[in-house]
């Protein structure tokens, strides 16, 4: 897709702003590795794909820069979350879901899969810009953290007995095997799902990592209509993006009635809690200036979430942004004039300030 500059843009007269490029060519690549090659060769000015080995790119003399000059390199933009299908056993059991959450070594994903360009999520799933809404007393009391030994203990206490192979069985004694789906070609999530499966296996939970094409993952994840349940066991998802209040996160987790169809991206897990949904609606109707009420509502929602574990927050997915400065420079980065502009162009970021980076970048004069 090619975007052409609009000479009659309203912000030129109203705000004295003008975008620098005449055209933007929006390329779609089939895999992260393709985008990586194009960035290194200067074929892409701005890549909003996940690119492996970012530390090497920044330090390698390729003219590639990121928002932060060192780890974690990227602004956090959303929370990568493990979504359990709570309409299926044993994922319908909150005790099993909490044990599963406890079995996952998120720091291994941060260190080994991402090379520290992301950070582990708070147990609530709220992004760092919402830290003032996190009730630390609730997270200290109810929040989960990785421990293989504790996960084993929790499974045993909930009645999930291990067989001779060390893998736990369903409560009825049948074999327990869960599938975890992420889209093929999403190399970071493919590595992350393998890490999750390996970590859970140590606690006795059998997870089979699979990566079909993205359309299959979407079809398995979504409810086709109001009478059907989704097909998946576990998926990783990060649909909800950074917003201006925590309501966006809680609407994602607790939305009722249960949505269905391709256009809905809320409550994939199928969790129903009318009390939680009532709190979300109250949060939606609370003025942002009423911080005390917002904090109180968030605290109550965090108590429900961390008790029932309808979703399992994992890590803060970055606003992937790698730029090649050979043609354009002055991209958003910490400490420069464009620092407040979001350096991404997907999932509504244009409307959340990313368009302003086009007014800040400057063309590099051609070499003489």
What's the pLDDT at 228? Answer: 83
pLDDT at position 263: 64
CA distance 244 to 357: 19
pLDDT of 259 reads 83
pLDDT, mean of each 10-residue run, the chain (368 residues): 95 96 91 87 92 88 92 92 97 98 97 92 95 97 98 98 96 97 94 98 98 95 85 95 90 92 83 98 97 98 98 94 95 92 87 92 90
Quote the pLDDT of residue 89. Answer: 97
* Domains present along the chain, CATH in parentheses: 2-74+319-363 (3.40.190.10), 76-317 (3.10.105.10)
Q: What pLDDT, on a 0 to 100 scale, did the predictor assign at position 190?
A: 97
- Backbone φ and ψ for 80, nearest 5 degrees, come out as -75, 125
């Amino acid at each position: 897709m090619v975007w052409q500059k609009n000479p009659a843009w309203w912000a030129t007269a109203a705000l004295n702003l003008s975008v620098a490029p005449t055209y933007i060519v929006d390329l779609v690549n089939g895999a992260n590795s393709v985008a990586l090659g194009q960035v290194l060769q200067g074929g892409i000015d701005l890549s909003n794909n996940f690119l492996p080995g970012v530390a090497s790119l920044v330090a390698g003399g390729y003219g590639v820069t990121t928002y932060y000059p060192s780890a974690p390199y990227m602004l956090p933009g959303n929370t990568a979350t493990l979504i359990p299908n709570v309409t299926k056993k044993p994922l319908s059991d909150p005790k099993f879901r909490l044990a599963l959450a406890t079995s996952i070594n998120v720091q291994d994903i941060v260190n080994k899969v991402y090379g520290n360009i992301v950070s582990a999520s708070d147990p609530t799933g709220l992004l760092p810009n919402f830290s003032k809404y996190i009730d630390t007393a609730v997270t200290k009391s109810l929040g989960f953290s990785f421990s293989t030994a504790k996960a084993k203990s929790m499974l045993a206490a909930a009645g999930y007995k291990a067989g001779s192979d060390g893998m736990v069985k369903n409560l009825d004694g049948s074999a327990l095997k869960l599938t975890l789906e992420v889209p093929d070609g999403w190399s970071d999530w493919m590595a992350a799902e393998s890490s999750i499966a390996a970590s859970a296996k140590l606690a006795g939970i059998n997870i089979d990592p699979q990566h079909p094409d993205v359309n299959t993952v979407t079809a398995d994840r979504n409810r086709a209509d109001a009478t059907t349940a989704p097909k998946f066991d576990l998926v990783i998802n990060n649909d909800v993006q950074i917003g201006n209040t925590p309501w966006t996160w809680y609407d994602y987790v607790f939305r009722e009635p249960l949505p269905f169809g391709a256009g809905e991206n809320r409550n994939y897990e199928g969790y129903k809690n009318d009390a939680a949904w009532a709190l979300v609606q109250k949060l939606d109707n609370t003025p942002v200036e009423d911080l005390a009420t917002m904090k109180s509502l968030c605290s109550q929602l965090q108590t429900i979430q961390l008790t029932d574990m309808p979703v399992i927050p994992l890590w803060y997915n970055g606003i992937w942004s790698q730029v090649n400065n050979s043609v354009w420079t002055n991209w958003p980065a910490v400490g420069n004039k464009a620092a407040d502009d979001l350096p991404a162009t997907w999932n509504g970021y244009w409307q959340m300030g990313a368009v302003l980076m086009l007014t800040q970048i400057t063309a590099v004069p051609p070499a003489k």
